[in-house]
Amino acid sequence: MTGAEKQILDEGGIERVLARIAHEILERNQGTSNLALIGIRTRGVFLAERLQKKLFEIENKEVPVGILDITLYRDDLSEVGPKPEVHETNIPFDLKGKAVILVDDVLFTGRTIRAALDAVIDLGRPKVIRLAVLVDRGHRELPIKADYVGKNIPTSLQDRVTIHLKETDGVDEAVISGGSKV
């Protein structure tokens, strides 16, 4: 499966992009007050934790991080077939009045984010919800747009965009692999 892979972000690239997003968040939110990060399982969680670290480095303030499992809100659950594994959601803070930054690795059709929005709203009523993604690869199927984008990458529908992170994969990189193999 590694045949037609192309790296689009390396370790340094991811690092720089996250640093930039952290700055953008702070600028837009005017500091860390009321700010909260919610990572979407699996890799969004690690990205959220990294953003938390960056924010701390800049502002010396701890922004709370929550973990969101969107499985129960997926729009394909009514299809017949074995059900996807459900993992725990853990939001250890009150969402009320918070400026929530949803964090995910790749923005594609927008369906995951739709599910995440429903899930967050079921858990409480934040003041605003914004979206931060490492990579936006286009091909949206819902009217959803990211507020903070690490890198825009034009892709074909058949392409696969995969983010590898040290926490799960041992390496930091974003790769694109051609899906249109003959």
Partner 1 sequence: MTQTAKTQWTQKDLLGLRDLSVAEIELILDTAKSFSEVSQREVKKVPVLRGKTVVNLFLEPSTRTRVSFELAEKRLSADSIGMASGGSSMTKGESLWDTIANIEALKVDIIVMRHGSSGAPHRISNYTKCGVVNAGDGINEHPTQALLDMFTLREIKGKIKGLKVVFVGDILHSRVARSNIWGLTKLGAEVVICGPKTLIPWGIEELGVKVIHDVKKAIDGADAVTLLRIQMERQNETLFPSIREYASTYGMNTELFKYAKPDAILMHPGPVNRGVEIESALADSPQSYILKQVTNGIAVRMAVLYLLSGAMKNEK
Binding residues (CB under 8 A) for partner 1: these are 69, 72-73, 77-90, 118, 122-124, 162
Nearby residues of 153 by Cβ (< 8 Å), 6 or more positions away: 8, 135, 136, 137, 138, 161, 174, 176
Q: At closest approach, how far in Å is the CB of 175 from partner 1?
A: 12
* Between 61 and 77, CB nearer to partner 1: 77
Q: At closest approach, how far in Å is the CB of 65 from partner 1?
A: 16
Nearby residues of 50 by Cβ (< 8 Å), 6 or more positions away: 18
* Between 2 and 78, CB nearer to partner 1: 78
* Between 26 and 48, CB nearer to partner 1: 48
* Between 1 and 182, CB nearer to partner 1: 1
* Between 80 and 182, CB nearer to partner 1: 80
Do 66 and 36 touch, CB atoms closer than 8 A? yes
Amino acid at 18: L
Do 128 and 99 touch, CB atoms closer than 8 A? yes
Q: At closest approach, how far in Å is the CB of 91 from partner 1?
A: 9
* Between 87 and 139, CB nearer to partner 1: 87
Q: Is 127 exposed, middle or buried, given 0-12, 13-18 or 19+ CB atoms closer than 10 A?
A: exposed
Q: At closest approach, how far in Å is the CB of 72 from partner 1?
A: 4
Q: At closest approach, how far in Å is the CB of 162 from partner 1?
A: 7
Q: At closest approach, how far in Å is the CB of 164 from partner 1?
A: 10
Could you say which DSSP state residue 34 is in?
A: T
